[in-house]
Structure 1
Amino acid sequence: MKLKHLASFEVNLDPVLDLGDSHLGRRRVINIIGGNFNGPHLPGGADWQVLHPDGTATIDTRSTLRTHDGAHLCLSTNGIRHGPPDVLRRLAAGEAVDPAEYYFRLFCRFETGDKRYQWLNHTLAVASAARTPDAVRYEAYTLD
């Protein structure tokens, strides 16, 4: 198995909407308001995140992308972010934190009806991510 670079993503986010503690953990929704990946990342998606008592965040996003040549793609990511409590506090406070100080990884799945990109329907990708005060940046790699 080899990793092949697929794309660099920047996902711009609204402030966190905290729904409170449930039996699963602290539920948060973070709306996606735009971004890019060598093409626009369309508004309208969100991260339906669960924050667990130990500070671990379970990531579950859905968003729509438009490629440089007009194709529309649905992108779903699932992943996990965790780290030392002091690092997670700094992230939550909106501080710039070196991504080497915490673990943030994603699985990426794509869906499209555009024939030019249908190969993505049958491709799994993984990503290494970083959280900034108002965005998430990640590098995605296909699993070949």
Structure 2
Amino acid sequence: MSDLKSEFLFEITALLDKPIEIGESPLGKRLIYPVVGGTFDGPDLKGKVLPNGGDWLLMLDATTTKLDVRAILETDGGDKIYIHYGGFIHYKADGSYYFRTNPVFETSSEKYNWLNYTIGVGVGELIEGGVKYKVYAIK
């Protein structure tokens, strides 16, 4: 058994529209944040986030939010990559937060076929108008 290793893939900034509030349900408070654009940039991947995805966010309680995100990335070469992930934002008593995601990729691109077999981890940060992640491939 080997140790868990990671490799930096890219940094992504996703711009979000105002949330569509579904409201309280038995599971929690549901908000949907449409993705309206963004960019990603890394050593082997660079391009834009297409304006057609979203985050079907579920506020479990006052400190924990469960993420359910789907988006399409388009590389500078025109290749399309579907990315989907879950994750959590958990606010701590000191005002900091834990923001992690688990991206999975799907593409028909021969150049980026390796992404189809890659599990990622994203380390997120809230920014004005959206979110930013550093995404790592788990080796």
Residue from 65, 74, 79 that aligns with 2:73? 65
CA distance in 2: counterparts of 1:34 and 1:86, whole angstroms: 32
Listed as ranges, the gaps of 5+ residues in structure 2 are 42-46
Deviations 1:65-124 (A, max 9, x none): 10111100001021000113684xxxxxxxxxxxxx110000000000111111100000
2:109 corresponding residue in structure 1: 114
Matched, 1:31 2:39: no
Counterpart residue identity of residue 143, structure 1: I
RMSD: 1.3
Deviations 1:4-45 (A, max 9, x none): 000000000001221100000000100000000031110000
% same residue: 33
TM-score normalized with structure 2 length: 0.90
Counterpart residue identity of residue 55, structure 2: D
TM-score normalized with structure 1 length: 0.87
Whichever structure has more helix as a proportion of its residues is 1
CA distance in 1: counterparts of 2:66 and 2:130, whole angstroms: 17
Alignment of 1:1-144 (within 5 A): 1-38=4-41, 39-84=47-92, 87=95, 101-144=96-139
Listed as ranges, the gaps of 5+ residues in structure 1 are 88-100
**3-state SS, counterpart of residue 73 of structure 1:** strand
